[in-house]
A and B are shown apart, each in its own frame.
Chain A
Amino acid sequence: MTLLAFDWAFIIEKLILIVIIVFASLGIALYTTFGERKVAAILQDRPGPNRAGPFGLLQPLADGLKLIMKEEIIPNASSKWLFILGPGLAMTASLMTCAVIPWGTSLHLFGRTIELQIADVNIGILYVFAVVSMGVYGIMIGGWASNNKFSLMSALRAASQAISYEIAMGLALIALLMTTGSLSLKTIVADQVTGHYWNIVYQPLGFLIFFICAMAECNRTPFDLPEAENELNFGYHQEYSSMKLGFYLFAEYVNMIMSSAIMACMYFGGYDLPFFDESTVAPNIAAMIGVGTLLIKIVLFIFLFMWIRWTIPRFRYDQLMNLGWKKMIPLALLNMLLTGAIILSKL
């Protein structure tokens, strides 16, 4: 066959990697819901879920089963296809981010070097940005197709929130790119591994802005205006039931994992374990240590997300917009100017 002259082993290798990463993300997301409830319980001084299985560890499976077994309702007045497309799109967009995250260095198996990254595109960060901006469509389409005014209001809120905070996020990112000089996540992480410090040392303000914007993009409290249940009933997924609702809820957790991974890669050295020389152990073991380190960093970030969620109350909508446009964007511009000035003075 000359028609499809591929390196088939390469395709299979990438497919296996994609399947592993997607399922691992879903598994982590599943247990993040459990973690969320446990963290909430600890912060509110109560035991939290503890009935299903030892320490309540089977609770997420029970929740998932409950969601799947529930009756699937598609409202009569909705646009059926878009109603189904909405949650699918939200889930796809949140999972697509994982393609450019470098999960570790590389494994040497069966005489092949397997990169622990699905695709090393030279515009990795911009790809993440594009996918994030696609995620809004899942919410907007779902909210509109439900044909419910609360859902529509919430979808519009989500869209304007996402667009507002994307600007500050992009500006914070530009300052980081000025110091790294590369858009590829793999290069950014590799530079931090070989360089002296992680990027957080050079870009503390940029990281703060990026973190706040990431929280807004994930619709996490204090930015969960799109699903403000006491004003909008339940927000954009009000008409959804069963696993379609589950997809929306799940996509939020996958988003959280992916943004934690991105932040770990861009500002906290990615798979770099500090004070440890990876060249002293076998390459495969070093790669596995790298993957473990990145996972620990992700878990710490997720904990931070939850900690903030259960500590800070929700903003009002005008406060949210004021914070985004009048504080975050000028601050990000200032950060960009400062970074530029320092780089120029060092030339």
Chain B
Amino acid sequence: MNVLEILFYSLSVFALISAIMVLISKNPIHSVLWLILVFFAISGHYILLNAQFLAIVNIIVYAGAIMVLFLFVIMLINVKKDSEPQKLLFMKFAGVITGGSFLILLIALVKQATPLVGKVVLLKEGTIGLINPLGKALFSDYVVPFEISSVLFLSAMVGAVLIGKK
């Protein structure tokens, strides 16, 4: 075990524990805060993969902006843990079954993709996550999908403003 592996495993454990805490926290505010920690752990993984730009954008966009909005809405509508409606038993079963089948699907996908046993993540290699190669790739090889997705964002934004005006 070298330093990178220690970092990798501790980040993974950290991410998994935080993700489980997101699910089992009774208070929605606590769930959001745990989710922020998950994003931090994932950013740590990005840094290990030498994708500094991706790591920091993940923090700015997800942990910094989207989660603030989540917190904002939850604080504003003031969800309390005792006012959370009790779900029907039937709904709980449906949730378990759909979640479980999705888990099986994911496991099947991962098992089929490539033989993973004995493979180690390539740490601190590759430059695609740094800002220069990423910018060049986005604006030369992938310029059409990139621009189309930005138009999509714009239309979503206009739609949100329109709905908000009603």
Contact = CB atoms under 8 A, between A and B. Distances in A.
Given A4-B3, A123-B53, A129-B60, A144 B72 contact: no
Interface string A104-124: 000000000000000001110
Given A4-B3, A123-B52, A156 B131 contact: no
Interface of A is mostly: helix
Contact of A133 (B29, B52, B63, B71): B63
Contacts of B130: 122
Interface string B72-99: 1001100000000000000000000000
B76 A133 contact: no
Contacts of B60: 126, 129-130, 133
Contact of B63 (A4, A126, A134, A163): A134
B34 to A, nearest CB: 12
A156 B2 CA distance: 44
Contact of B72 (A141, A159, A166): A159
B73 to A, nearest CB: 10
A152 interface: yes
A251 interface: no
B28 to A, nearest CB: 11
A126 B72 contact: no
A137 B72 CA distance: 11
B68 A123 contact: no
Contacts of A5: 2-3
Given A133-B65, A133-B68, A134-B63, A122 B131 contact: yes
Nearest to B58: A130
A130 B39 CA distance: 12
- The size class of the interface chain A forms with chain B is 20 to 34
Nearest to B27: A79
Given A133-B64, A134-B64, A123 B131 contact: yes
Interface of B: 1-3, 27, 29, 33, 36, 52-53, 56-57, 59-60, 63-65, 68-69, 71-72, 75-76, 130-131
21 contacts: A3-B2, A5-B2, A6-B3, A82-B29, A122-B130, A123-B52, A123-B56, A123-B131, A126-B57, A126-B60, A129-B56, A129-B64, A130-B64, A133-B60, A133-B64, A136-B64, A136-B68, A137-B36, A137-B71, A156-B75, A156-B76
Given A121-B52, A156-B75, 17 more contacts: A3-B1, A4-B3, A122-B52, A123-B131, A130-B60, A130-B64, A133-B60, A133-B63, A133-B65, A133-B68, A134-B63, A140-B72, A152-B75, A156-B72, A159-B71, A160-B72, A166-B65
